[in-house]
Amino acid sequence: MTLSRAVALIPARGGSRRIPGKNVRRIGGHPLLAYTIAAALDSGVFLDVVVSTDDEVTAAIARHYGAEVPFLRPAELAGDLSPDVEWVSFTLAALAERGRTYDAFALLRPTSPLRQPSTIRRAFEELSRDPGADSVRAVERCRQHPGKMWLREGERIRPLLDDGGASPPWHSRPYQALPEVLVQNASLELARVAAFERTSKISGDVVRPFLCDGYEGFDLNDAVDWMTLEHILEHGQAPLPVVATTAWPDTGQAVTAGATGERG
């Protein structure tokens, strides 16, 4: 099945509790959102790059950096607990009403700014080569193995996972001797539209793992993550995607993040 018509969907709500204004918070000279837009555009795999937001300022910033914002997301789909499937369904349907249909879509979250154009191309190639997969999802090897996790039951605990009576039990084995377990990150999801429509699930039923390299899957969730990102950039451990567009004017509409955010 061809994937000649793909759209990048970039969610960028105006609200955020843990990191206020995170999607437009400035770092490396640009609002955070700019790096995901640049990576999507420079990947060369998308027919369109669309930002989904409920906020006019975020929409203006997205357009400045080359993305489309053909409509704002309804408030009822932009809450802290709003599931992705709802706004994705709304967005694809609204685009279809405008005569814009696609074979595949990608979810690219601004909170993974170290994802490169090459990351996106690699994921797109993996899905294209695997016609039996409904989607690819970014994953990495988990650092805290569930084989060493416990459930509390009153004054007792029992292993979270059933190891089938293995000897020695999983919780007593070194990490390297445990079955490989992958955990998803927020770097990307790339799915076939037909599978989404058939299953009403973003990933469909058949999911191919996309293993991230290095910091490709790094995700910003809280203030500590911001400090970690600044450290990564300051010490040259990973680059941000190149943004060729002139920086959005610092009028106070995009929050500045620490010392790194002051550098061009």
Please list the rounded mean pLDDT of every run of 10 residues in the chain (264 residues). Answer: 88 74 91 98 98 95 97 89 92 97 97 97 97 97 93 96 93 92 94 97 97 94 93 97 93 47 29
Q: Which of 124, 159, 180 is the last residue of a domain?
A: 180
- Domain for residue 66, yes or no? yes
| Residue 133 and residue 89 share a domain | yes
CATH code (residue 56): 3.90.550.10
Task: Report phi then psi at 192, rounded to 5.
Answer: -80, 135
- Verify that 98 and 148 share a domain, yes or no: no
Domain that holds residue 255: 6-140+182-262
**Is residue 54 assigned to a domain?**
yes
pLDDT at 256: 45
In a domain, 186, yes or no: yes
Q: CA 136: distance to chain centroid?
A: 12
Torsion of CA 86, 220, 217, 260, to 10 degrees: 140
Give the separation between CA 25 and CA 87, rounded to whole angstroms.
23
pLDDT score for 78:
85
Tell whether 1 is covered by a domain: no
pLDDT of residue 254: 54
232, 170: one domain: no
Nearest-CA neighbor of 119 among 49, 217, 204, 37? 217
Whether residue 28 sits in one domain with residue 155: no
Q: Is 154 contained in some domain?
A: yes
Q: Are residues 60 and 96 in the same domain?
A: yes
Integer Cα distance of 236 and 214 in angstroms = 13
Contact 204, 105 (CB under 8 A): no
Q: Residue 199 is encoded by which pair of tokens? A: 């299953």
Q: Give a yes or no: residue 220 inside a domain.
A: yes
Same domain as 61, residue 167: no
The pLDDT value given to residue 19: 66
Is 130 in the same domain as 168? no
Domain limit, last residue, from 130, 154, 180:
180
Shared domain for 113 and 216, answered yes or no, is yes
Residues 14 and 108 occupy one common structural domain: yes
25: nearest Cα among 264, 253, 263, 259: 253
| Cβ neighbourhood burial of 28 (10 Å; 0-12, 13-18, 19+) | buried
Joined together, the tokens standing for residue 260 give 């790194």
Count of the separate structural domains present in the chain: 2
Same domain, 136 and 165: no
- Residue 109 in domain: yes
Alpha carbon distance 93, 214 (integer Å): 35
Q: CA 232, CA 43: separation in Å to the nearest integer? A: 23
* CA trace torsion 48, 5, 94, 114 (10° rounding): -50
Strand partners, 152: 157
pLDDT at residue 251, as a whole number: 61
CA distance 221 to 64: 25
Q: What is the pLDDT of residue 42?
A: 98
> Cβ distance 42 to 242 under 8 Å?
yes
Q: Using the 3D structure, point to which of 155, 180, 205 is the last residue of a domain.
A: 180
Question: What does R_g of the chain's alpha carbons equal in angstroms?
Answer: 20
Kindly state whether residue 228 falls inside one of the protein's structural domains.
Answer: yes
Same domain, 234 and 200: yes
Residues 159 and 243 in one domain: no
